[in-house]
Each structure stands twice: as structure tokens, then as C-alpha cells.
Structure 1
């Protein structure tokens, strides 16, 4: 095999690996081994009982519009974190539902935060938000570093899109590894919001 053919083959293998790792999916399975203490419902939403939830890692940085954001500042509120990319078809499907639910729950103890990943500039991401009617902030994470802060074997985001609900104590209560409509999103949010 020539050097040129070998380089082309290696390039193709690397491209496939990158696509697999950053795959934009319609669902998935939870990772990590052993007893994770969370339950997968038949609606594709994983939940963790209140006393067995993992603390969310530090999620902070610059937003798409250049501001500084730290999710820990929302402690005491329920936080919905949506990991998305403007290039992701399922993210486009769910965007309008996240915009709708975030507006309906504004001022009701719920904060929405996006994590934009794998967009090489903020321009397509900002266009996506405008097109979808999304008004909540999104952290700009082009290389996926924020996703890697979650411990393996917890309710960590593994696909794009992924959605997490963080309880008032800063612990991850629920996760979905698929595009959600407003009904699915509310199935995740309402039980955590009802906790006292």
C-alpha cells in the first residue's frame, strides 16, 4: 500500500471516529459500568433518586454573546441544561420546544442554559438561537470540554443533543439522550420542580 493510500485510509478512519464521538443522535444508552443507581424509564429519560444523585460539575465559561456564565450561580433553582449544536438535525427538531417551555417557566424557579458544542464559530450558533426563538444563555464549548467534566457512570451527557435537569441542590436528577418535544421535556422537569 502506498504512503498516499495509507494516509487517505487513516484520514477516513479518523473522520469516522470523530463523527462517532460527536454523533448527533436520536437516543442512546447510559455509559459506565456497575451500579449507577439510576433508572431508565420507557420514555428514554434516566432519573436518579433524590439521595443518590451526583453533583453536577462546574459548568462555566463564555456564552455565545461573550458574557461570563456560571451555572452554580443558579443554585436554589432547577436548571435545565441542553447540549446542542447548530449542525445537529435533532437539535433543530427540539429547539422550538425548549424555547416554548423556557418562556412558560420564566420566573418560576427554573433556569434554562444551553451548551453549544462542535460549532467552529458563534455565528451559526447565534443564527440557530434566533431562528428557534431561544432567549436563554448558551455556553460556547466548541471542543466539548464541558461535557467531559461529568463523571462516567453518572447521568452524564453522552450525545448531542443531551438534556439534563439539575435540582435545586446542584445535583443531576434526570437526563435524556434524545431530542425532546415539550411533553418529554416537561416529564423531566415537573417532578424535579415539585420537590421541596
Structure 2
């Protein structure tokens, strides 16, 4: 298990602090059509939202594609698919640590109707973020979002201070799980496969 696990209390404290102060962009996110509101019970770093009928939707998540100039990449590009969103930066050591594991899960689950979507944050030098994608063999697209503008779609009180974060959306693009920590493939793959196997109508 990676050393970052020891940082869980620090990450949890950051989440609690953000939740206590509230996010100034919450009303903007609601305006984009999302119903999801972030809650971390007891400062947990692995959060699951069940049953499916109780899950909230994110808003209109989209932004400039990191690798393809002039292209907009959006969550709506992946209808009826489970979407795994990973928030990352090339400056982030844990992001480098988990890149291979995320790619492994992506390759293992894509035939089950699963798509991965990165959101690159705080990288003002776009070429460095692009080098990260190439050097780590990342096969899925990323939105380039250095200013966190695209993350408005993730809803009220979302803790943008926690990087990396991984969010698993079900086939209706409702938030099913959030991980506020670096992941191993063994952490993520069973969760993704379980959500991909849920009935199409979201019933249990």
C-alpha cells in the first residue's frame, strides 16, 4: 500500500474545512443543471452513494480537450456509459503514482461500457500536462481545466483542494462513488465493475 494512505487524515481535514466554509461556485453549479451535493460523512475518503435512486447528477461538465487543439470534450460525449472522472495534475506526486493503475482499470473495463475522463487542474503550462499523458501512456481523454472552471459542474461544496480525486458516475451520470485519495487498481476496479453491472433503469 502506498505511503499516501498515511495522508488520509490530512485529506479528510481539507475536505471538512471546505465543507464548513462552503464553495462560492455552488449556485453556478446548480445553474448548470446538477443535483449532486458533496457530503463526506465523518471525513471519509471513500464515499458511496446508494441506492441508485438517491444519487445526484452532476452538471454540464465540459471543457477544452487537453491533447486536441480546438476540441471540446464533454461528459455528454459518453451517453449510457459508466464514466470514471479523475482529477489530476502533472505536479501531483500521487497522480503520477496512480496513473498506471487507472489505465489498467480503463483497459480492463472499457468493454463493459466504461469510459474514463481526466480533468487536468492547476497546470498553467499545458505542454507539461500533455507530456504527462504521453509519458504515462494515458489512453483516455482529459479536459484542460487549470482554473477549475469545468469543475463547477461537480456541484455545491465539492472539495477542489483534494487532488487526486476519482469520481465514478453510473450510466445515468449520477455520482455513485468518490475517492479522495490515490488509488490502486484493486481499489477501483471492483467498484467500477459493480456499478457497470447495475440494471439499466437504476433499480436494485
What TM-score do you get using the length of structure 2 for normalisation?
0.74
1:163 and 2:162 matched: no
- Deviating above 4 A after TM superposition, structure 1's stretches of 4 or more consecutive aligned residues are 36-43
Contact 1:63 1:139 in 2 (8 A): yes
Unaligned runs of 5+ in 1: 1-24
Q: Whose radius of gyration is greater, 1 or 2?
A: 1
Give CA-to-partner distance per residue, 1:143-188, whole Å, 9 cap, x none.
011223322257x655110100011011111100101010111143
Structure 1 Cα separation of the partners of residues 62 and 75 of structure 2: 6
Written as runs of structure 1 = structure 2, the 5 A alignment for 1:36-185 is 44-49=45-50, 50-65=52-67, 66=69, 67-152=71-156, 158-185=161-188
Contact 1:157 1:177 in 2 (8 A): no
Residues 37 and 113 of structure 1, relative CA distance in 2, 3 Å threshold: closer
Contact 1:114 1:139 in 2 (8 A): yes
Contact 2:63 2:150 in 1 (8 A): no
Higher mean alpha-carbon deviation, 184-193 vs 92-101, is at 184-193
Residues 99 and 32 of structure 1, relative CA distance in 2, 3 Å threshold: same
Report the equivalent of 1:195: 198
Residues 40 and 46 of structure 1, relative CA distance in 2, 3 Å threshold: farther
Q: Aligned to 1:105, what secondary structure does the other structure show?
A: helix
Contact 1:54 1:171 in 2 (8 A): yes
Query: CA RMSD for the aligned pairs?
Result: 2.5
More helix by share: 2
Give CA-to-partner distance per residue, 1:101-149, whole Å, 9 cap, x none.
1112223200000000100122111111112110100000010112233
Give CA-to-partner distance per residue, 1:64-94, whole Å, 9 cap, x none.
1222211112120000000000000110110
What TM-score do you get using the length of structure 1 for normalisation?
0.76
Report the equivalent of 2:24: none
Aligned residues: 169
